[in-house]
Chains A and B, each alone.
Chain A
Amino acid sequence: MAGARDPERSDLLKGTLDMLVLQTLTVRPLHGYAIAQQIEALSNEVLRVEQGSLYPALERLQKKGWVTSKWGESPTGRRARYYTITAAGRRQLGDQISSFDAMLVAINGVLRRT
């Protein structure tokens, strides 16, 4: 059952999704759909977050203790799970951003853009 991947979908770089999700949660707690929306909106629709990767990612982040979740009421009146970033999650986000920055500098260096 392994390896059911859709090649047409522009997957985010592995690991980057975690960083983006954590980043969206730094402002306020959000539910899954809102997280996806936020990422799409902020990236001008370039980055599209699929449910299939979003929810496993959230599950993973919870397991690692970087986010917690609580059921609450959505504006439409339905029950929705709201995710909140934890202190450990913020630290993790900081680490990820700095290593991502380092990576960008490196890649740009290779591409002779600086």
Chain B
Amino acid sequence: MSLLDVLRYRWRALSRPNVHEEEVAEELDFHLELEAMQRAHAAHGTLSPEDARYAARRRLGNATYYREETRRISGITFLDTVQQDVRFALRSFRRTPTFTAIAIVTLAVGIGANTAMFSAIDALLLQPLQFREPDRLMSISLTRPGPHGGPIRDDIPWSSPKFELFRAAQDVFADETLWMGSQFTVRVTDEAVRVFGEFVDSHYLPTLGIQPAMGRGFFEAEDHDLGGARVAVLSHRLWEDLFSADSTALGRTIDVDGMPYTVVGVAPPTFRGLSGQAALWMPMASSPSGWGLTNPTAHNYFAVARLAPAVSIPRAMAVVAALGTRVDATFPDPKVASVHWGAAMHPLDSARLDGRARQILVILFAAVGLVLLIACANVANLFLVRASGRRREISVRLAIGAGRWRLVRQLLIESVLLSLAGGVASLVVAWGGTRLISDLHPASALRMHDVAGVEILNYTTIHLNVAAFVFAAIVAIATGILFGLVPALQATNPSLSESLKDDGAARTIRIRGLTSRNVLTVVEIALAVVLLAGSGLMLRSLGRLLAVHPGFDADHVLVLRTNRAPLWSRDSISRFYDVAIERVSRIPGVTGVGMADCPPLVECTGMPVVFPDRPPAPPGAEAMAGVHWITPGWPTVVHVPLVRGRMFTRDDVVGRRRVVLVSETAARTFWPNQDAIGRPVSVGGPDTAYVAGIVGDVSYGPLDAAPRPDVYVSYYQAPLSFRMMLFVRTRVDPSSLANAVRVALREVAPGFPVYDVRPLDDHVRDATDYARVSAQVLALFAALALALAMIGTYGVIAFAVSQRTREIGVRIALGATSADVVRLVVGQGLALGAAGGAIGLTAAIALTRSLRSLLYGIEPTDTVTLVGIVAILVLAVIVASWMPARRAAGVPAMHALRGS
């Protein structure tokens, strides 16, 4: 009760000071009146009421003083002076707009960039997966010795029969599930949407601990109903898109790749499946071909299992390894008896980002941390400069009687105000930065295709991380307050006479202050150099990467994907190729049309290659090649050159002698020192084909990887009814023809979904995104760092010049030219730059070694980069010290000599 009363009392006094004061006055008045009455009474009428009152007042003394005293005790005075200080601070900010703006921008950038970056890292790496007890979820895969005694591959998906064996024998998991992801065309009305979906078993949702938001999951019986059980669970988002979130959607029918499916459930809003992007789930058994559910070598499925209670990870690992041996005994390698498969387990959490993406994120985070350090150094510097500039003002105020605490408090209020403004501004930067990062699509930016199996990461969840913001804000604001306050305490030291005198005696103090500022500037420059080196290397590496010729010409080519519609059987599909190519070729502006099954720069499936004229390959050493379906016109359309032999013709059809084209690398790898033309080879099947021609290498994998052997098969000889991409070479801007191509295809093949229509350039850009994004973000950070370091240098030099005005005046009076003065000042800047540069380069050479695995085609100690940094640094320092130098050179000698 008492505490509440105190608060209420204080609040009343502070919130309505006037009422409170009136009450105090009234109380004093009442006291006076009683005192006067008492006196009159005591004097037995010898004292007139006026005299009595007068006497009472005399006894009271200085009423105003006591009123003030009461005010001070009630806290009203404190509030008043705080108000004064705030007003004063705002006035002083208005007087120094440049300082204020720079301080606010520095804080905003430092805090904002860190918050944005950390928000991304938090969403991508740190936040627990969105499943129940995610740390109990394990990813289980098959293992197999690598070819040529290479490293063991431990990310091989399961086949359903092998997993059933595993499932029946294991006793360490509470539940386990198989799943595989794929793209699907879904339609409810005429409009088709292309979505990512997953084929799963009935254990999928229970294993992950997900309850459907509506309807049901899948039944055990649906796992075994091959070709039947066409039921689907929709993501919350797809349900909203297709059915406008209508609850009557349950029981409705949707068309998935030409097959009718009944909607039986809707997933909770944030759930996107193990792929992190699924919009649709269907029973595996319902897939058109059953996806090889009964085939023990159809390794299509990823497995995730939940540890049973009280089972430790090491124990489960041992059980998984033992069961791997058992699976291998039951299903030995079909080709090579001496190759033994196994099984391995990893926590699901470790599978969400591959090592390279993790490394990029960590490097970017380190970089942005350096930016924060530089920002702090800069803020410290700014406040130091400002405080020294006000030493005199402070001394004067002390001399005429200002309380020390009051002065310190006032400086503190200024620091806090400025820091708060910076903090608010940084929120804007952080918000924008976070939006920018989620727009970058980190999945492709971080080259997520490389992730083995699981892409759980849900990059749509990147949003402003409050904890990160608070952390960065506290660091930066504390810096501001600290460096705003230290000089204040120093300046308010009792020895004020020294500061009151002009230059002379005060110089010692100033030089000490200047030294600490110099150190800060050198540190800033050194940190900026480290960032410049890192980003310089990444940019050079990016340049090398972009300069790699991918083996085809992506300019002026439109690409679109299409897929078989139920109407077209495998036998009639060749006619579709002809009709489609002919129809699209007639569109004005189109100069050539070809088809292929796999876009360049995306890892396409490799297949074992067998050479019928040779003995079978030794165990584990089977040759592998990328196998691609193309139409005869495709190499011409994308400018893949013929090296020797001939291209496909329209006459290479089913029934004729089977021919293939091979890439230069394939020719060199498979037939070293021989002519590949005419050699027999079989890919992905028992039929033998003969090499008809050798074509140039095309980068089907990442640009920075060496080209793999590739084998081309003609669509007309081995009809393929799914996976078709149309490549359209155009005379005009390819995007402008997108609609015409769509319309043309709809005419010849009404049921075919057409999607992903965009220029081939786009695909190339996607494939280099990971390098581009990391290099560009790092470059942005380096640019920020350099800008901040320049501001810091400018501040120090400008301050030094203002301190040396008299000295410079003397020099000019003694005959120094303005060039001499400029040289003097710029020289001081260069000295700072040299010190910072030397430290920075040393650190950079030590640190950039960690970038090695991310660099393509250059060494971390790349001379061009290092020399470039030195050049940029020198230039930056000259620019930063030029303005103060010019100002110094323009000082009129007499003015300078008279003193400030």
Contact = CB atoms under 8 A, between A and B. Distances in A.
A65 B31 contact: no
A7 B728 CA distance: 105
A74 interface: yes
B9 A33 contact: no
Contact of B2 (A33, A59, A86): A86
A56 B69 contact: yes
Contacts, number: 78
Interface string B619-651: 000000000000000000000000000000000
Nearest to B30: A80
Nearest to B38: A37
A61 B672 CA distance: 101
A63 B73 contact: yes
B329 to A, nearest CB: 82
B24 interface: yes
A45 B5 CA distance: 34
B240 interface: no
Interface string A65-96: 10010010010101111000011100000000
Contact of B5 (A6, A52, A55, A68): A68
Nearest to A81: B27
Nearest to A86: B2
A47 to B, nearest CB: 15
Contacts of A87: 1-2
Contact of A33 (B31, B59, B66, B74): B31
A4 B62 contact: yes
A78 B33 contact: yes
A97 to B, nearest CB: 19
Interface string B711-751: 00000000000000000000000000000000000000000
B6 A65 contact: yes
A59 B66 contact: no
A32 interface: yes
A60 B70 CA distance: 8
Contact of A59 (B60, B65, B74): B74
A50 interface: yes
A62 interface: yes
Nearest to A64: B6
Contact of B74 (A63, A64, A68): A63
Contact of B60 (A32, A52, A62): A52
Count class of interface residues, chain B: 20 to 34
Contact of A1 (B26, B28, B38, B68): B68
B507 interface: no
Contacts of B2: 65, 86-88
Contacts of B35: 33
A71 B28 CA distance: 14
Most chain A Cβ neighbours within 10 Å, of B26, B34, B61, B70: B34
B10 interface: yes
Interface in B364-409: none
Interface in B36-94: 38, 59-62, 65-66, 68-70, 73-75
Contact of A51 (B1, B31, B73): B31
Contact of A56 (B9, B26, B59, B70): B70
Contact of A81 (B23, B33, B75): B23
Contacts of B33: 78
Contacts of B5: 65, 68, 86
B3 interface: yes
Contacts of A1: 65, 68
Contacts of B60: 50-52
A79 B26 contact: yes
A31 B3 CA distance: 22
* Range for the number of chain A residues in contact with chain B: 20 to 34
A65 B65 contact: no
Contacts of A78: 30, 33
Contacts of B10: 63
Nearest to B29: A78
A79 B59 CA distance: 23
A56 B27 contact: no
A6 to B, nearest CB: 7
Interface string A31-44: 11100110000000
A81 B29 CA distance: 12
A32 B65 contact: no
A71 B60 CA distance: 23
A32 B74 contact: no
A25 B681 CA distance: 111
Q: Which of A65, A71, A79 has the most CB of B within 10 A?
A: A65
A56 B30 contact: no
A106 B129 CA distance: 71
Contacts of A63: 6, 9-10, 73-75
Contacts of A71: 23
A91 B3 CA distance: 14
Contacts of B3: 65
A74 B30 contact: yes
A61 B230 CA distance: 80
Given A32-B31, A59-B73, A78-B33, A51 B66 contact: yes
Among B31, B61, B68, the most chain A Cβ lie within 10 Å of the Cβ of B31
B70 A59 contact: yes
A50 B57 CA distance: 11
B65 A52 contact: yes
Contacts of A59: 24, 70, 73-74
Contacts of A55: 24, 27-28, 31, 66, 70
A6 B66 CA distance: 13
A76 B36 CA distance: 14
B342 to A, nearest CB: 74
Nearest to A68: B5
Contact of B69 (A33, A37, A52, A74): A52
Interface in A1-43: 1, 4, 6, 31-33, 36-37
Contacts of B6: 62-65
A110 B103 CA distance: 63
A4 B23 contact: no
Interface string B549-578: 000000000000000000000000000000
Contacts of A4: 62, 65
A8 to B, nearest CB: 11
B26 A52 contact: no
B24 A52 contact: no
A20 B5 CA distance: 22
B9 A62 contact: yes
Nearest to A65: B6
A38 to B, nearest CB: 13
A21 B24 CA distance: 18
Contacts of A62: 6, 9
Contacts of B27: 31-32, 55, 80-81
A62 to B, nearest CB: 5
Contacts of B74: 59, 63
B9 A68 contact: yes
A37 B2 CA distance: 27
Nearest to B26: A79
Contacts of A86: 1-2, 5
A59 B38 CA distance: 25
22 contacts: A1-B68, A4-B62, A31-B27, A31-B30, A33-B30, A33-B31, A50-B60, A56-B66, A59-B24, A59-B74, A62-B6, A62-B9, A63-B74, A63-B75, A65-B3, A74-B30, A76-B34, A80-B30, A81-B23, A81-B27, A86-B5, A87-B1
Interface of B: 1-3, 5-6, 9-10, 23-24, 26-28, 30-31, 33-35, 38, 59-62, 65-66, 68-70, 73-75
Given A1-B68, A51-B28, A56-B66, 11 more contacts: A4-B62, A4-B65, A31-B27, A31-B30, A32-B30, A32-B31, A50-B61, A55-B27, A55-B66, A65-B9, A81-B30
Interface of A: 1, 4, 6, 31-33, 36-37, 50-52, 55-56, 59-60, 62-65, 68, 71, 74, 76, 78-81, 86-88
- 6 closest A-B pairs by beta carbon, nearest first, are A65-B6, A33-B34, A65-B2, A52-B66, A88-B2, A59-B73
